[in-house]
Amino acid sequence: MKPKIILCLALVWSAVLTGCASGVRAITIKMPDLNEPIYLTEQPTQITVQMPVTSFRVEEKHIYSKASDLHRQVCLLRADGSSIPQLHEPDVIGISNGGYVGEYLFFSFQKKSKSMNEVARIIVSMDGKTHCMELEGNSDKP
């Protein structure tokens, strides 16, 4: 696993577990048709989204999914309707805890604004269906 990805992951999980840190907005998004929540974190320099893929016991043999084989996509929109560009292709990351490993698809987006409320809407494409949700608490709305 790349050191940069590990550092980003540590920052995201730190923000999610502590609820919110100075200069970080962490949101757990529960979309009605998705079984698992999605985790969005706005940091001063980037925005990240974690989407659960699967989980398994540590002792089980498992081949990690390839991001391109999962056919999942996340798009983020600002309040003015403009899209937030991805920094790079999504990565698949495993997180181990209590004898289990959770596999996540990890998206990174460009941070343009200094505001911690840059993301107004999230669009998720998964299993041939598109889901959209407006995020509450966006003070940048016109």
User: For 60-83, how does the pLDDT look when each residue is reduced to its tens digit (9 = 90+)?
Assistant: 888 888 888 888 999 999 999 999
| pLDDT 10s digits, 6-27 | 444 454 554 444 444 457 888 8
Identify which has the larger pLDDT, 4 or 88. Answer: 88
Per-residue tokens: 37:
């929540």
The domain spans of the chain are 3-134
Tell whether the torsion through CA atoms of 93, 49, 67 and 109 is positive or negative: negative
Confidence (pLDDT) at 22? 58
Contact of 84 with 94, CB cutoff 8 Å = no
Q: Residues 6 or more apart from 103 whose CB is under 8 A from it?
A: 52, 53, 54, 55, 56, 62, 64, 65, 92, 93, 94
Tell whether the torsion through CA atoms of 128, 33, 81 and 115 is positive or negative: negative
Query: Global pTM?
Result: 0.75
